[in-house]
Amino acid sequence: MVIGLGRIMGFKFPENFNSPYISQSISEFWRRWHITLGTWMREYIYIPLGGNKVDSKSRLYFNLWFVFLISGLWHGASWNFVLWGAFHGVFLILDRTLYGRITSKIGVFFRVTLTFFIVMIGWVLFRIENINEVFVFYKVLFAFDFGPLIQHCSPLELRTIVVCFIIGFGSNIPMINKKYTQTINSIGNISTILKGTISFLLIILCISSIIKSDFNPFIYFRF
């Protein structure tokens, strides 16, 4: 939206997110997520610290971890943001160790799934306001009790979640996206009508969901 509005007014803003949830590692995730912030951190903190042109791996690991500790503080002066930055810093270090070599051999599907799981676990630290409730949240999260979800969501909402999940991941996986694009392009002008119809229906579903729900501001609203 910002890129489009900027172009209308004559500004050309760089892309800031590039399908981050299909990343195969935390390192790749941060090349896709909040690209402008990552670029700024790399140029003004990581490189001045020596970057990867240092004499020892321990210094390299410290540089990585420290940059993401600062990244956490950039989001807010709160312990949960510090922990979130340190959390990602640890996995960036692990990507350069035996862990990274092992995960590189488990296949694309499992790498994407594992990275997505790690990122979701990290979002708990990012979102939680009371640091003392972190482990309580994780305990409930891993209880695998789907009763409240089924109780508070209608069958239509549950089906919508599943469909959006499949479309969100399926259409962004390179192999599937390539085949989908080739199939749609072979149809000709129908592709424009089909994509427009699907987009319109999804917009209607989103608007309907927002109207019937309570006020829930975007997570970056407070920054």
Q: Answer yes or no: are the C-beta atoms of 26 and 118 closer than 8 Å.
A: yes
Smallest Cα–Cα separation from 160: which of 213, 108, 107, 121?
213
Predicted confidence (pLDDT) per residue in 131-188, tens digit: 888 888 898 888 888 777 777 777 777 777 787 777 766 656 554 455 445 554 555 5
Q: What is the DSSP string of 175-191?
A: HHHHHHHHHHHHH-THH
Highest mean pLDDT among 96-105, 188-197, 202-211: 96-105
Contact 18, 108 (CB under 8 A): no
Q: What is the pLDDT of residues 4-37, one digit of tens each?
A: 888 999 998 888 888 898 899 999 999 999 999 9
**pLDDT for the residue 216:** 63
Hey, what long-range contacts does 213-218 have (CB within 8 A, 24 or more apart)?
Answer: none
pTM (predicted TM-score)? 0.74
Helix, strand, or coil (residue 107): coil
pLDDT at 90: 94
* DSSP state for residue 15 in the 8-state scheme: P
Spot the catalytic one: 34, 75, 88, 152.
75
Question: Which has more pLDDT, 155 or 93?
Answer: 93
pLDDT tens digits, residue range 56-89? 889 999 999 999 999 998 888 888 999 999 999 9
| Catalytic residue status for 75 | yes
Residue 124 sits at φ, ψ, to 5 deg, of: -60, -45
Nearest 5°: phi and psi at 157? -65, -40
